[in-house]
Every structure is written in structure tokens, then in C-alpha cells.
């Protein structure tokens, strides 16, 4: 079985500037892996390469069955349908309620049957414990609830991989722990999760494998 995420001798660019070189990264099914490093070290650029925003022109890589070094622009939307992406700043539609935020994504990713779409939206809301919030708009949700909605959105298409970029960065410690517990429960069901963070408290509490991004390199350092 191929690994959900794998990079070999990859060079990660931001524009024309190489920010990481010789990257070898392998994350297995159900593994929870952390990317740690200072701001500006290249963590976000690495994640952007994995979800197709930045091209992989040097080295080889694959994610969720897509070959990154052979990925054409027209295939990027199909890649992203196979991924769940969780950002720090939520990126929710502020003028639509919870259920409509999810239906928008389902429609955009090719779903046609309205009843099936509504059923799937309610399934993921139940999974993240937001079933009673389905007709609230994002501004009526707490920060933790908004991030759980983002995770629900990421789960809609049963992704093999979830990429999370500082998903707890705007949350207080108690709410961060709730979000981490949810993400780890998802990983325990077989989804591979790669999360960029600078919060070592969370790593020590919840565990996982650790990749350190520093000095233009990515190094696997330990597993907690």
C-alpha cells in the first residue's frame, strides 16, 4: 500500500526562491505527524506544495494517490477533493449558515443529489458535535466551534489526508485541546494527518511523529 504522503529529494520553492531542499517525508495511513519550526522556516510552503498551490518541480512526491511532480494545473481541483485542508483563519462563508457552508463545498466538489448532500452535511456535523448549530451563521459560533466546522468541511469527501496549518493558533488552550482530541480521533480511524504547529504543549500532550523544519531542511526527529 502506498503512503498517503511521500516526498523524495524534493526542493520546495516560494516563487523562484528555494526554501527547503532534499526533503524526504513519509506519512503513513492513520499517522498523526507534526511539522514544527519557526515562522518563515518553510512549513506553510511545504503544505502548499502538498495541496498543489505551489508546484513540485524538483524531486518526486505523491499525496492521496496523486503524483505531485506530474500534477497539471487542471488536476489540482481533483487533488483537493481528495484532501481535507484546515487553516488557522477558518475561511468560512460569513453570509451563509453552517449547513450552507457545507453544501457549498459539496456542490463545488461535484455532488448533485441535494438530499444526499444534506445527509452528508449532517453526518459530518454530528461527528464534530455541531448538530445543534446547523442554522447558525459563523459569527454566532465560538472560535472552537468555527474550527470544528472547518474540520467538518474537511471531512465531507472522506479524505485520505488532512493537512492542517496552525489549526489551533487562534484558540485558547482548553479549546485547542478539544480540537486536537477531535483530530486525533479522526486519525485513529485511518486518516493521515499532517499538522504544522509551533505549540509543543500540544505535541507533548497528544503525541505523534515530529518533523522539524529548520536551516532549509526537514528532519524526522522523534515520535511521542
Query: Can you give the pLDDT at residue 221?
Result: 85
Could you identify the residue written with the cell 453552517?
Answer: 98
Query: What's the rounded Cα separation, in Å, for the pair 193 and 124?
Result: 17
Give the residue extent of every domain in the chain.
Answer: 1-71+188-224
Query: Can you give the pLDDT at residue 109?
Result: 86
pLDDT, tens digit, for every residue of 90-134? Answer: 788 899 999 999 999 999 888 999 999 999 999 999 999 999 999
Q: Is 44 exposed, middle or buried (0-12, 13-18, 19+ CB in 10 A)?
A: buried
Closest CA to 142 of 178, 114, 116, 107: 178
Query: Can you give the pLDDT at residue 223?
Result: 65
**Taking every pair of C-alpha atoms in the chain, what is the biggest distance, in angstroms?**
51
183 within 8 A of 154, measured Cβ to Cβ:
no
Please state the φ and ψ torsions of residue 38, each to the nearest 5 degrees: -65, 160
Task: For domain 1-71+188-224, give the fold.
Answer: Rossmann fold (3.40.50)
Query: Can you give the pLDDT at residue 25?
Result: 93
Low-confidence stretches of the chain (pLDDT beneath 70): 1, 223-224
Query: Can you give the pLDDT at residue 103?
Result: 95
Query: What's the rounded Cα separation, in Å, for the pair 151 and 164?
Result: 9
Amino acid at each position: 500500500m502506498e503512503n498517503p504522503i511521500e516526498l523524495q529529494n524534493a526542493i520546495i520553492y516560494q516563487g523562484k526562491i528555494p526554501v527547503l531542499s532534499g526533503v524526504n517525508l513519509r506519512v503513513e495511513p492513520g499517522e498523526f505527524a507534526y511539522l514544527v519550526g519557526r515562522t518563515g522556516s518553510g512549513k506553510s510552503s511545504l503544505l502548499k506544495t502538498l495541496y498543489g498551490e505551489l508546484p513540485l518541480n524538483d524531486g518526486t512526491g505523491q499525496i492521496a494517490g496523486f503524483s505531485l511532480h506530474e500534477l497539471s494545473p487542471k488536476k489540482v481541483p481533483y487533488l483537493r477533493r481528495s484532501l481535507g485542508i484546515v487553516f488557522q483563519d477558518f475561511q468560512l462563508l460569513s453570509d451563509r449558515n453552517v449547513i450552507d457552508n457545507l453544501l457549498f463545498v459539496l456542490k463545488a466538489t461535484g455532488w448533485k443529489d441535494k438530499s444526499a448532500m444534506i445527509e452528508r452535511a449532517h453526518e459530518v456535523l454530528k461527528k464534530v458535535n455541531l448538530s445543534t448549530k446547523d442554522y447558525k451563521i459563523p459569527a454566532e459560533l465560538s472560535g472552537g466551534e468555527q474550527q470544528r466546522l472547518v474540520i467538518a468541511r474537511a471531512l465531507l469527501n472522506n479524505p485520505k489526508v488532512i493537512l492542517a496549518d496552525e489549526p489551533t493558533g487562534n484558540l485558547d488552550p482548553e479549546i485547542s485541546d478539544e480540537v486536537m482530541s477531535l483530530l486525533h480521533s479522526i486519525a485513529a480511524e485511518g486518516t493521515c494527518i499532517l499538522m504544522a504547529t509551533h505549540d509543543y504543549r500540544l505535541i507533548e500532550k497528544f503525541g505523534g511523529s515530529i518533523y522539524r523544519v529548520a536551516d532549509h531542511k526537514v528532519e524526522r526527529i522523534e515520535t511521542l
